[in-house]
A and B are shown apart, each in its own frame.
Chain A
Amino acid sequence: MSNIKQKDLILYSGLIILGLAAPYLFSAFKVQLTYLCVLIVLAMTWNLQGGEMGYNTFGNILFYGLGMYLTASVQVGMFFPLAEWTESGGEKTFVHSTAQYFQGIGVGLLVSAIIPAIVAGAIGYAILGLRGHYFAICTLGLGIAAGEIAGGIEIIGAGQGFTTPPFPAEIVDTEARGKFFYFLSFALLIGTFIFVKYIYGSRFKLILNAIRDNEDKAEAMGIQTMKYKITGWMCSAFFCGLAGGIMGGLIGYIDSTDVAFDGREMGVFMVLMAILGGKGTLWGPVIGATLFHFFKEGLWTLILGWQYVALGVLIVVIVIYFPEGLMGWLREKYPERFGEVIDEKDRKAQVELK
């Protein structure tokens, strides 16, 4: 047993060292690496919902967008009047000093983690009573409605969009901005991973699985399913909000439907990444997100203009032919590696039945 632990230790420390060294090794790709971290976080938190709990949501984009708007609003609103900022295109009239910028983003991220979690808890009781495809469609509607409504609110920029505070000009190092956002997102990734790993070893995960496999039976066994469903959703919302806050700062510009509540891109990406890697596994979403990001960045520029066609075809192919994802395929192929013991007699009997 200790042997496996040691292996894990080497793996994790290796990955952390790689993660810490990455912005220096691939210094031209810092923005891409930040994206990758955020994508992995989104895929992992979606997996808690769709993979472990069996509630396939399109609505996590709601918390992502909410986090993005909250971080930027707090960062501006703490020091300057928000309405004037958005009206005048912001950064030209008001300038954040270095201390103000970092204070603002710190408090903003805190708010963007807590408020989405509270929102998830508040709407959770109503929304999570829906099951299966009704839940999926309802959350899809929720995400798009949020985008449409945010696009009509004047104080956060309405249709024009919202410029987030630019990185303080007093810091001369041109690499600093990229490094700051990279390490922020990397810290978020590590935090999310530790949290999800902790959940994977806990009773909570088993309850979520019970809900996925048969909610009625789980309820009959005395589990208060609603309580756990809401808790699971709040956990997702917490990390999605943080991811959104970081992305808002990185992109520097928030548009209601194209950046924040971007159901057509981010909202689908997180589902796709989790399914590509394998739902209901710890490493599946991580691998799925990494593969997807490489595919996207590698191919996007080659097929400029056709990327959405490629994305659509990719969705159809993955969903129809690999619904179990990469980890599911590996599990089928090498069940021993996943700790599954297969009785040879049993297998033969099943083959005969087929």
Chain B
Amino acid sequence: MDFLIFKAPMLMVQASLDGILLGILFALIAYGMALQWGVMNIINIAQGDLVILGGYIAYTMYLVGIHPAWGVIVSPIIMYFVGVLLYKLVINKVVDRDLFISILATFGIAIVFQQLMNFIFGADVVVAQSEYGTTMLFDNSVTLPNSKIFSAFISVLYAVALVVYMKKSRLGRAIRATAQNARAAKILGVDTEKVYAATFGINAALCGIAGALISITLTLHPYVGLPYTVRSFMIVIVAGLGNLPAVALSGMGLGLFEEFADYILGTEFRIGAVFMLLVFILVYRRFKLSKKREYLK
């Protein structure tokens, strides 16, 4: 086996650092996924498309002439309202129903989003230039774009802010109460309808932040949303709902896996490797549980 990565230790360092920084970003999206799954019991296939939409908001700012990094503030605000609107239109009808219905309904939303983004922003691969430069490490053998460091930093900042918000604020406590027992929360005077709308809005806002960061670190294209959905789904099933350190860790693990798969299998199999990993994780969990005669719930 003559893989380049095993010959050059510096490439390993490069891939690891890239993977960890990327993984933090994935963890942010996965946190939104876990939030809505835990609170509303829906699986949102359109998650990745919300991310891409958030990215295009930052890209539009870049086109207008504003620095795209401001997108991490503007994009979540716009996306919050997109999320609430989406909740009022569609999502409120799939809460409390069979999970497959939410999967299919959000699949429909995803298709609509993809096509609309294709109309508005065109089918080209775009990237917003942040012009942050790169950091050189270890005698210039490892290059790290500053935009990636920036994006990881912002992700951590927002994640910490959200955790504090969920712990301390009134709405945060209402959301947690609804997640534990929606009926009891309702009896005790929580307006669950509002809580659901806010949860979905917060999730969309998280996607907006992640999208804005992706617009400066990676690339945007109307049809690349689904891999982000699958990544966040994968992180959530590995980490469990509502376990933030585990979400961060498995996010980084996924980032590492992807970077190494990229080097070892080649870039053309990168997305395929992500989807195969999903299948393997599910099958592994299934065999592990079936020893106890249980199954994934």
Q: Determine if chain A interacts with chain B.
A: yes
* Distance of B232 from chain A, by nearest CB (Å): 11
Residues A137 and B233 in contact, CB atoms below 8 Å apart: yes
Chain B residue nearest to A144 (CB atoms) is: B275
CA–CA, A142 to B283, complex, Å? 12
B233 touches A131 (CB 8 A): no
Q: Assess whether A222 is interfacial by the CB under 8 Å rule.
A: no
Cα(A132)–Cα(B110), bound, Å: 21
Interface string of A106-139 (1 = CB under 8 A from B): 0000000000000000000011011111101110
Q: From A317, which residue of chain B is reached at the shortest CB distance?
A: B108
Q: Are B108 and A137 in contact (CB under 8 A)?
A: no
Give the total of B residues in contact with A, Cβ under 8 Å. 42
Residues 211-246 of chain A: 1 if any B CB is under 8 Å from the residue's CB, otherwise 0? 000000000000000000000000000000000000
Task: For the complex formed, measure the closest distance between the CB of B221 and the CB atoms of chain A, giving whole angstroms.
Answer: 13
- By a CB distance below 8 angstroms, the chain B residues around A126 are 283, 286-287
Q: What's the Cα separation between A130 and B278 when bound, in Å?
A: 13
Q: Quick one: which of B90, B108, B111, B272 contacts A152, CB cutoff 8 A?
A: B272
Asked if B264 is at the interface of the complex by the 8 Å CB criterion, the answer is: no
- Contact between B109 and A312 (Cβ–Cβ < 8 Å)? yes
Which segment of B10-18, B98-106, B123-131, B155-163 sits at the interface? B98-106
Enumerate chain A residues within 8 angstroms of B269, measured Cβ to Cβ.
Answer: 148-149, 152
Known contacts A126-B283, A309-B115, A316-B108: does B278 contact A141 (CB below 8 Å)? yes
Is A28 at the interface (CB under 8 A from chain B)? no
At the interface, yes or no: A319 with Cβ under 8 Å from chain B? yes
Residue contact B275 to A145, C-beta cutoff 8 Å: yes
B279 x A145 contact (CB < 8 A): yes
- Rounded to whole angstroms, the CA-CA distance of A264 and B45 in the bound complex is 13
| A134 proximity list for chain B (CB < 8 A) | 237, 282, 286, 296
CA distance A264 to B111 in the complex (A): 8
Can you name 17 A-B residue pairings with CB atoms under 8 Å? A126-B287, A127-B283, A130-B282, A136-B100, A138-B279, A138-B282, A141-B276, A141-B282, A144-B271, A148-B269, A149-B272, A151-B268, A151-B272, A309-B116, A316-B109, A319-B101, A320-B105
9 smallest A-B Cβ distances: which pairs?
A315-B108, A148-B272, A312-B112, A145-B275, A312-B111, A308-B115, A133-B99, A316-B108, A141-B278
